[in-house]
Structure 1
Amino acid sequence: MTLPAIDTSALFDVHGKSAIVVGATGAFGKVVCATLGRAGVRLVVTAGNAAELATLADELAAAGITAIAVNTRPNTEADCDAIVAAAVQAHGGVDILVVAAGVNDVAPIIDMSHERFAAVMRANVDGAWLIAQAVGKQMIAQGTGGKLVFTSSARGKLGHPAGYSAYCTSKSAIDGMTKALGCEWGKYGITVNAIAPTVFRSPLTAWMFADDDKAIAVREGFLARVPVGRLGEPEDLAGPLLFLTSRASDFHTGHIIYADGGYTAG
């Protein structure tokens, strides 16, 4: 057998692609924007907070990243159609969708109203389903395949004793959606995968990186279950993201990649 002719320089090349980033102003959303934008992807960034979205747009422009901002959450079919239309108008189509939006609401189930539970499901599951539907229609019409990346969590696989009945349920649903759409859209050349982080450095988790007694105690307890022995950094998510949005993952679909330092392996 002769040596395979593999062009490694092209495997991870996403330059010139068109991507929609939902929940772009969140911690993972900004990792997505920085990773794809600096790799030459043209972005449509969406979020519900207009001020935060404007700040992000300015930061992207200052970094020389091509992006347009759409101040819309994927709450309805009309919202999602508008997001897709903006990408088509600006960039000629949609090659990549990354759903980085998500919320948590922590409470024991006996203290949580159904409305609170439903709000988490709407934000984490309904929105992902709706934007996937709209983007899928566009990608199928284009006929050139595409890449969808959802945001799952280690909590989609593992439970949690501190009132995560809504969050764990929502992320398990994302895992199921990832597998179902991976099966459904393979024939169109559309891959559907998810990244499942655990704790990584962000404004929401900054307290866990601190040096006070409480943070140290919590961190040490958590790290006892993390084989690599540290918390995550944004760069730890950038590699899996680039893999899942590039040609390198053309034969990978319906998978959940745990960017967790081995937390879920034990």
Structure 2
Amino acid sequence: MTAAAVEFSDVGVRFPNGTTALSRVDLTIQPGEFVTLLGPSGCGKSTLLRLASGLESATSGAATVSTDRIGYVFQEATLLPWLTVARNVALLAELDGLPQREVSSRVARTLELVGLQDFSQNRPHQLSGGMRMRASLARSLVRDPELFLFDEPFGALDEFTRERLNDDLRALWQRERFTGVFVTHSIAEAIYMGTRVVVMGAHPGRIIREYDVPFGAERDEHTRYSAEFAALSSEISDVLKGAMS
């Protein structure tokens, strides 16, 4: 039996001020899944990502990850403004101690994967918001991660740019076959991106429902506007409203 990529077993997180961020969370993510975490602010979505990355420890229970090859894309691109796109992308590979020839090869391949090959010598201020997020994605992708964590990477973008990047990220996931865990506040984005949607409630953070997404790997605007998509969106919306009432 294949080991889970990520497993949370009866996980609880309590902050020093007494706030319970997560309570009795059980979640298993298999290799190759793309799981979306959906819920209101303060329900512990980002805390789960930090547990998976090793940036935070559980107060109770156990968080187990099967790999140390982890990519992490944050809400802000956080690129170094004085470096070119290529140098920003190369940074983590260089910190890993890879030979310069290997770094250069990986950077070239990664920039092509995210569609920034013609902008390698630009600096961050010369890029649009969407392009900066592509560069941030490339910076983590250059390490060839087996597990990719996304903390609302497209939340600050306009709807058109977000949908385009959703499509590009799904295509990238299909090609590279990493395991993805993606945090969002958007029901539509959670359904469109995920193989599974995990709905969370707050105070304390907990899982209240899981949905296997009934669409295949190939998705487009017809998926977004289908009756089945609308019905699932409505059901999840009702669950979220019920959890907050």
Indicate the TM-score class for this superposition, using the shorter chain for normalisation. 0.3 to 0.5
TM-score (norm 2): 0.34
Choose between structure 1 and 2: higher strand proportion. 2
Choose between structure 1 and 2: higher helix proportion. 1
- Which structure has more relative contact order (CA 8 Å, sep 6+)? It is 2
